[in-house]
A = this chain, B = another copy of it.
Amino acid sequence: MTASGSLTVVGLGPGDPQWLTPAASAALAAATDLVGYRSYLDRVPATPGQQRHGFGNRSELDRARLALDLAAQGRQVVVVSGGDPGVFAMAAAVFEAVEHGPPAWRELDIRVEPGVTAMLAAAARVGAPLGNDFCAISLSDNLKPWATIEQRLRAAAAADFVIALYNPASMARPHQLEDALQIVAEMRDPDTPVIFARAVGRPNERIKVERLGEAGSVIADMATIVVIGATTTRRIARGGGAVPYVYTPRSSGTRC
């Protein structure tokens, strides 16, 4: 092992390159090796001499182990992730690989560069729906039982958190988002605003604000973030067919 190797986990943000921090850009440009999901690597500007190690959609732990192995050989490695790498993304996979890997991996210089996670960009597009206490839940159940997800949805709804849903649906589980919305709908008014933000910051971005009572039929995919308002979340109508503003007041109960 060469002591000078390093591994940095970088998220590309939700999509718009103008949301990538200078620290993340600098890490990407300084890397000798980029490791990541192929479609993320395609979004990184080319740097001469840099090696790229592209992977498929699954295989997070394989990516992490290759990256650690390269860093242990003295390379300056960046693991390329989406959004913020610490939120339902590659950073946890890297540390999982470290914990269960050779002891030398623990002594590597491993860093995580924070970034703009998708729910923040989705929220910004409509106003400030995350303006009071909120939670983030991944609906992907290939890593945890659906019963755990259900329990968290019920707890979050009962305690009146704004709820951000990541990975809301895939072809393998088309009905889970509908089920999740139904659980929350048992405890919240049908008029509660629900934001569907698809591909935020990319050319095909699409933002909708629906009522919870009718949100079950909206089509979502893995590129969509869904934000369900709390009981205090407000909608401000605007003229000219514009998407309404949605915000959650900082205070609970009282109006200013």
- Say yes or no for A180: interface residue by CB 8 A criterion: no
> What are the residues of chain B within 8 A of A148 when measuring CB–CB?
160, 252
Name the contact of A239 in the complex, choosing from B106, B124, B154 (C-beta under 8 A). Answer: B106
A115 CB, min distance to chain B CBs, angstroms: 7
Q: Least Cβ distance of A152 to chain B in Å?
A: 5
**A145-175 interface bits toward B, Cβ cutoff 8 Å, 1 = contact, 0 = none:** 1001001101110111100000000000000
Q: Interface SS of chain A: helix, strand, loop or mixed?
A: mixed
Question: Within 8 Å of chain B (Cβ to Cβ): is A136?
Answer: yes
Cα A237 to Cα B247 with chains together (Å): 42
A132 touches B138 (CB 8 A): yes
What 0/1 readout, one digit per residue, does chain A (82-97) give for beta carbons within 8 Å of chain B? 0011111001111110
B132-A251 in contact (CB<8A): no
Contact of A247 among B13, B96, B154 (CB under 8 A): B96
B91 touches A247 (CB 8 A): yes
Give the interface residue-count category, chain A.
35 or more
Residues of B within 8 A of A60 (CB): 250
If A121-B114, A148-B252 touch, whether A130 touches B96 (CB-CB below 8 Å) is no
Contact, CB under 8 Å: B117 / A120 = yes
A171 CB, min distance to chain B CBs, angstroms? 20
Q: Does A98 contact B (CB under 8 A)?
A: yes
Q: In the complex, A196 Cα to B17 Cα: how many Å?
A: 31
Instruction: Specify which chain B residues have a CB less than 8 angstroms from the CB of A136 in the assembled complex.
Output: 133-135
> Which residues of A (60-101) have their CB < 8 Å from a CB of B?
60-61, 84-88, 91-96, 98-100
Chain B residue contacts of A40, Cβ below 8 A: none
User: Are A107 and B138 touching (Cβ within 8 A)?
Assistant: no
